[in-house]
């Protein structure tokens, strides 16, 4: 796996796939929060977004809210895994192919990437 995929910083799509995987069989919000290593505020935003886009659903069960991945959410996880496999199979070496210019040449909020 490339160093880009191993980085400690997780992107939003990775976090969403992780939440959906955790909620595959239904779970409590606090369990998702701890397993995905997110703050309550972060998790709340992800949950709102994923419910709004029909990736996650909330059901009441015994007075507790249970969160479960929808079929669309599970499809999201499958496609996310496929993309990661594709990148792994291609054996991309981002460290050797990406050249980032010095900071003084970058515009704020934008980056320039050159591939060989």
Q: Distances in Å between the alpha carbon of 101 and those of 62, 79, 98, 113?
A: 57, 32, 10, 8
CA 85-87-91 angle, 5° bins? 110
Model pTM score: 0.70
User: Which is more confidently placed, 103 or 53?
Assistant: 53
Given a cut of 80, whether residue 4 has pLDDT beyond it is no
With a CB cutoff of 8 Å and minimum separation 6, the contacts of 91 are none
Interval 20-38 mean pLDDT: 97
Structure-block tokens of residue 25? 């069989």
DSSP structure string for 53-72: TTSEEEEEETTEEEEEE-HH
CA quadruple 100, 101, 103, 107: dihedral positive or negative? negative
Q: Contact 39/50 with Cβ under 8 angstroms?
A: no
* CATH numbers and ranges of domains, the chain: 3-105 (1.10.10.10)
pLDDT digits (tens, 9 = 90+) for 31-87: 999 999 999 999 999 999 999 999 999 999 999 999 999 999 999 999 999 998 888
């Amino acid at each position: 796996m490339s160093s880009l995929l191993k980085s400690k910083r997780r992107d939003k799509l990775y976090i969403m796939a992780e939440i959906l995987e955790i909620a595959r069989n239904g779970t409590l919000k606090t369990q998702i929060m701890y397993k995905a290593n997110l703050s309550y505020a972060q998790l709340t935003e992800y949950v709102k977004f994923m419910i709004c886009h029909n990736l996650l659903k909330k059901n009441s069960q015994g007075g507790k809210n249970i969160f479960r991945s929808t079929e669309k959410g599970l499809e999201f996880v499958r496609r996310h895994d496929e993309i990661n496999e594709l990148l792994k199979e291609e054996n991309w070496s981002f460290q050797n192919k990406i050249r980032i210019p010095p900071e003084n040449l970058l515009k704020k909020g934008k980056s320039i990437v050159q591939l060989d």
